Structure 1
Amino acid sequence: MMSAIEASERLVELVRGNDDIANHADGCDAAMIAAAEHDLGVTFPPSYRRVIEEFGTWDIAGEEFLGVYQTPAMGQKLLGSVAETLDACSQYGMPSDLIVVMFDGMGGLIVLDSSQVDSEGEYPVLVWNPGVADRQSMERPGDDFGSFALALCQRAVTRWRESG
Structure 2
Amino acid sequence: MSGVESVAALVRLLRAHPDTCRWTGGLGPADLARAERELGSPFPSSYRYFLAELGSCEADGTDFLGVYRTAALGDTLLGTVEATLDARTDERFPRELLVIQYDGMGGLVSLDTAQRDADGEHPVVVWDPGSGDRGGPERLADDFGSYALRQCSRSVLDG
Cα deviations by residue, 1:13-37 (Å, 9 ceiling, x for unpaired) = 0111111100111210000010000
User: 8 Å contact 2:125–2:141 — kept in the other structure?
Assistant: yes
* Structure 1 gap segments, 5+ residues each: none
Q: Percent identity?
A: 47
Alignment of structure 1 residues 30-69 onto 2, 5 Å: 30-69=29-68
Match of 1:12 in 2: 11
Asked if the contact 2:124/2:141 (under 8 Å) is kept, the reply is yes
Within the alignment, does 1:88 sit opposite 2:60 as a pair? no
Displacement after TM superposition at 1:96 (Å): 1.6
CA distance in 1, matches of 2:137, 2:67: 25
Partner of 1:74: 73
Alpha-carbon distance between aligned partners in 1 of 2:150 and 2:120, rounded to the nearest angstrom: 20
1:87-142 deviation digits (Å, cap 9, x = unpaired): 00013541221000000010000000000011111000000002533785422110
CA RMSD of aligned residues (A): 1.4
1:11-61 C-alpha deviation (Å, 9 max, x unpaired) = 010111111100111210000010000000001111111111011111101
How far apart in 1 are the matches of 2:121 and 2:133? 20
SS in structure 1 of the partner of residue 86 of structure 2:
helix
In 2, Cα distance between equivalents of 1:72 and 1:3: 35
| TM-score when normalising by structure 1 | 0.92
Quote the residue 2:28 is aligned against: 29
Number of the residue aligned with 1:124: 123
Matched AA of 1:70: R
Amino acid at match of 2:146: S
Residue pair 1:108, 1:127 contacting (<8 A) in 2 also? yes
Structure 2 gaps, min length 5: none
